[in-house]
Chains A and B, each alone.
Chain A
Amino acid sequence: MRTIILKSASSYLLPVLLLFSVFILLRGHYLPGGGFVGGLVAAIAFVLDAFSNGLDKTKSVLKFHPGFLMPLGLLIAFFSGISPIIFTDMPLMTGLWAENPIPVIGYIGSALFFDLGVYLVVIGASLTIIFTISESA
């Protein structure tokens, strides 16, 4: 859509929304949120941008093709799932946790990486879907 108003509004919203999405992701283990909703928020931010600035612009803004985020995210989730098999003698998906919590994020553990994988996959998948539709619409 060719409207300056939307365009400039969204260019300010985009980074803030991305920040918010990470926020939602990180707090998921303690409060409502998590990788899925976080990923959706991020995806929505980009979709918004695509609506206002056009798809090509949004694509050039994104460092990665969204299609690449899907396997990447799944790979992260996959590795966090099988890391107990590789590094310890525990069954898959066993939580591996750092001894002490770190600030902001809390305990660092494989579950967090898992959620990060979810986050990336959701961004990748949602964007792939929506971008594809927009392109062929």
Chain B
Amino acid sequence: MKTKFLSNILLTLIWVFLTGEYNLNNFLFGFVLSFVILWILSGVEDQGKLKYFKIVPRVISFIFFFIWELTKANIQVAYEVITPKFNMKPGIVALPLDAKTDLEITLLANLITLTPGTLALDVSSDRSVLYVHGMYVEDRKEFVEDIKQGFEKRLLEILR
């Protein structure tokens, strides 16, 4: 019930953003609209349990971390792409997962993919392993640890 209401509000906000009209009427309209959509979709389970106040600072720091990683890796890839010789040591690495929920796994995988040089290929059916394709797998342990200590840890901090 609560999560429904929150989703409703969230959707309403998205609507208001989307339309770009910030006034009561539009808010109400968006609310009704979101309500209808949620009603129609009432089968969808809500996985998000949002604890706003704890999360916000972590999210911000995470975003900066992510941007930093993104830039770093992009430069590496850019260099690789432009220079005539390939220096990569690519490979597919099995990454044991601490992330458990769908949301956690998905976010982790997406972030890994968005970071240049790595691509989350698939999650094992028992959700225990994330297979990641990396461009620079010089040392697979280091590769695994980087991700686990970097993305996964920070992400789980936010989400749990």
| A/B contact in complex, CB under 8 angstroms | yes
- Using a CB–CB cutoff of 8 Å, the interface residues on chain A facing chain B are 2-5, 7-9, 11, 14-16, 18-20, 22-23, 57, 60-63, 102-105
Closest B residue to A63 by beta carbon equals B40
A61 touches B102 (CB 8 A): no
| Chain B residue contacts of A16, Cβ below 8 A | 11, 14
A22 touches B33 (CB 8 A): yes
Task: Find the residue from B25, B26, B41, B122 having the highest chain A CB count within 10 A.
Answer: B41
Whether B7 is near chain A, meaning CB under 8 Å from some CB there, is yes
| Chain B residue contacts of A60, Cβ below 8 A | 43
Using a CB-CB cutoff of 8 Å, which residues 40-84 of chain B contact chain A?
Answer: 40-45, 47
17 sample A-B contacts, Cβ–Cβ < 8 Å, listed by A number: A2-B125, A4-B123, A7-B102, A15-B37, A19-B11, A19-B15, A19-B18, A19-B34, A20-B18, A22-B33, A61-B42, A61-B44, A63-B40, A63-B42, A103-B26, A104-B19, A104-B25
B123 touches A15 (CB 8 A): no
The number of chain B residues touching the other chain, given as a range, is 20 to 34
Q: Write the B18-35 contact mask toward A (1 if CB under 8 angstroms, else 0).
A: 110101011001000110
Closest A residue to B34 by beta carbon equals A19
CB distance from B116 to the nearest CB of A (A): 19
A61 touches B43 (CB 8 A): yes
Whether B147 is near chain A, meaning CB under 8 Å from some CB there, is no
Given A2-B125, A5-B109, A18-B37, A103 and B23 touching (CB < 8 A)?
yes
Using a CB-CB cutoff of 8 Å, which residues 135-152 of chain B contact chain A?
Answer: none
CB distance from A102 to the nearest CB of B (A): 8
A63 touches B39 (CB 8 A): yes
Given A15-B34, A19-B18, A104-B29, A5 and B110 touching (CB < 8 A)?
yes
Given A16-B14, A19-B14, A5 and B44 touching (CB < 8 A)?
no
- Using a CB–CB cutoff of 8 Å, the interface residues on chain B facing chain A are 7, 11, 14-15, 18-19, 21, 23, 25-26, 29, 33-34, 37-45, 47, 102-103, 105-106, 109-110, 120, 122-123, 125, 127
A8 touches B47 (CB 8 A): yes
Closest B residue to A61 by beta carbon equals B43
Closest A residue to B122 by beta carbon equals A3
| Chain B residue contacts of A22, Cβ below 8 A | 33, 37
Given A4-B102, A8-B102, A19 and B122 touching (CB < 8 A)?
no
Closest A residue to B25 by beta carbon equals A103
A104 touches B43 (CB 8 A): no
Closest A residue to B7 by beta carbon equals A15
